[in-house]
A and B are shown apart, each in its own frame.
Chain A
Amino acid sequence: MSNSAVALNNYLIVGGLLFTLGLVGFLSRRNLIVMFLCAEMMLQGVSVTLVGFSGYHSTWSGQIFAVFSLAVAAAEAAVAMALIVVLFHRGDSLDVSLWQDLHEPDQPTLVDEQIVDEPVPEPQWPHLAVAGPLPTHPQPLTATHRQLDSTEVGRG
């Protein structure tokens, strides 16, 4: 009894913390893909809780519920990825703030903090040692082809 109760306690704590971290990420991040990752993390927290209860009660119900939530998560991911691709093609950005004109008309527009884009650093390519003499350039075939064509035309 004691060990299983402690195990249930631990699983519920891990599940609750995963759910909470997913919620915090969903509320604060602005990248659409990271937001959906956080939604999946909330589902993972629920699954951990269900599996903990399943082990505690020694029944299959929790595991079966977790299997169903896995299937629903897969369906959700498929639709979400399709939506993200469409939204990226329309807005050329994964920023969720682009789509805030979907809000209710009496709600104020959210103004995000604007920062400048970081310059992309030039990639540092490695210097490779020369592995041998430069091969001779192959003879272009087009001249002989043209010659053949002209002779055929001349014959015709």
Chain B
Amino acid sequence: MHPHEILMAALGQCLAAFTGEMHAGLAPLFAWAGGAGLGGDPGLRDRLLGVVLNRDVFGYIVRTFLILLPAGLGVYLMLPRGLPSKQPQYRRVGAALAAFSLVLICVWPVSEKISGGAPRTVLWLLSGWGGSAEFYLLGIVSLASAVLTITSRNPVYSALWFSLVLLANAGLYLIQHAEFLAAATAIVYAGAILVTFLFVLMLAQPQGAASYDRVSREPFLACLTGLLLAGVLLGTIHYSTSVEAIPNAAKQSVRPTAALARTQMTTARETSALVDYAQPHVANLGKSLFQEHFVSIEIVGVLLLAAVVGAMLIAGHTSESPR
């Protein structure tokens, strides 16, 4: 057993114990909140507690809100608000809150149904499942860089943090055996699109720190919107992946939704549709791309051509227009 596996196992055990305690510790907290805020009505308090701790989708969403609340507050504190002297303090507090929420996301408990056995946290699987440690590293890098992208006051720093998001995402694609997509993301996004961004930024950046970079528009409402969206989205995702089993194509030979369409196809194409990890992936992806999605490829090519011509038409018009 490698030393890092032992370390990860120990860390996972500690965090599993912590989340178990967290679930037990949340109950009196909410009982107190319900009792203090609602005049001690026991029926209402029990109903509130039941909503938070029960196993249906609403309970999942409420718990997701609790997990994401520090992150929303942290992003709100980190967004530029035109405070040149006090801003670093706010930024540090906000970064600490967001990091705390990220840790909470990482120790999110996975239900017994998908972990198979005793209740475990997501991180506990690090010791038993190869490839997961890389996922957590890359996912944390991606999310932290995303937060720094939207909160940097200098747009050049935003672009550079976004390139880190892209590289971490390319690593995530590699874990899922999407080699072509990883390379395309690194080359097309981080190589071409981002360089274009930086080029325009250098072309169009005024002298010094612009005032519109140092103050953001309605940061509280934006963070509240993001918190609502993320809470509902992640709560529903976590509920549906842990309570309802998503049909898995690898387990069932033919998916029920595609059963009618698949009977029309030849057997050769049906076998090529499932990913065979023994074959080289990029060749199979190209075969699938140019056989089954040929018309779409042509349409995308025409779209790119139209975009390039349109961009030249728009940007080339500037020299003639009066300023």
Residues of A within 8 A of B (CB): 1-14, 16-25, 27-31, 33-34, 36-38, 40-41, 44, 47-48, 51-52, 54-60, 63-64, 66-68, 70-79, 81-86, 88-90, 92-97, 110, 112-120
Contacts and interface: CB of A to CB of B under 8 A. Distances in A.
Interface residues of B, number: 107
A113 to B, nearest CB: 5
Contact of A89 (B189, B308, B318): B318
Interface string B263-281: 0000000000111000000
Chain A at the B interface: mostly helix, strand, loop or mixed? Answer: helix
Question: Nearest 8 A-B pairs (CB), nearest first?
Answer: A25-B150, A75-B307, A120-B208, A55-B176, A24-B226, A28-B222, A82-B315, A27-B222
B213 A9 contact: no
Nearest to B296: A68
Given A5-B246, A41-B165, A82-B314, A60 B288 contact: yes
Interface of B: 75, 79, 82, 84, 105, 108, 110, 114-116, 122, 125, 129, 132, 135, 139, 142-143, 146-147, 149-150, 155, 158-159, 162, 165-166, 169, 172-173, 176-178, 180-181, 184-185, 188-189, 192-193, 196-197, 200-201, 203-219, 221-223, 225-226, 229-230, 233-234, 237-238, 241-242, 245-246, 248-251, 255, 273-275, 284-285, 288-289, 293, 296, 300, 303-304, 306-308, 310-312, 314-315, 317-318, 321, 323
A73 B197 CA distance: 13
Given A30-B212, A71-B303, A95-B210, A60 B285 contact: yes
Contacts of B314: 79, 82-83, 86
Given A6-B122, A31-B213, A79-B307, A41 B162 contact: yes
B212 A67 contact: no
Contact of A27 (B176, B203, B225): B225
Contact of B209 (A7, A63, A70, A118): A118
Contacts of A3: 125, 129
B114 A5 contact: yes
A72 B323 CA distance: 31
Nearest to B203: A85
A66 to B, nearest CB: 6
B211 A114 contact: yes
28 contacts: A3-B125, A4-B250, A5-B246, A5-B248, A9-B114, A21-B75, A21-B147, A27-B226, A28-B218, A28-B222, A29-B217, A31-B213, A36-B197, A40-B193, A44-B189, A56-B246, A59-B273, A67-B181, A78-B308, A79-B307, A81-B311, A85-B200, A85-B203, A94-B205, A94-B212, A117-B209, A118-B209, A120-B207
Contacts of A5: 114, 241, 245-246, 248
A13 B146 CA distance: 14
A116 B211 contact: yes
A51 to B, nearest CB: 5
Nearest to B71: A17
B303 A75 contact: yes
Contacts of A113: 82, 215
A92 B226 contact: no
Given A16-B230, A77-B197, A85 B143 contact: no
A41 B165 CA distance: 8
A56 B245 CA distance: 12
Nearest to A3: B129
A110 B221 CA distance: 14
A74 B241 CA distance: 32
A8 B192 CA distance: 30
B88 to A, nearest CB: 14
Nearest to A71: B300
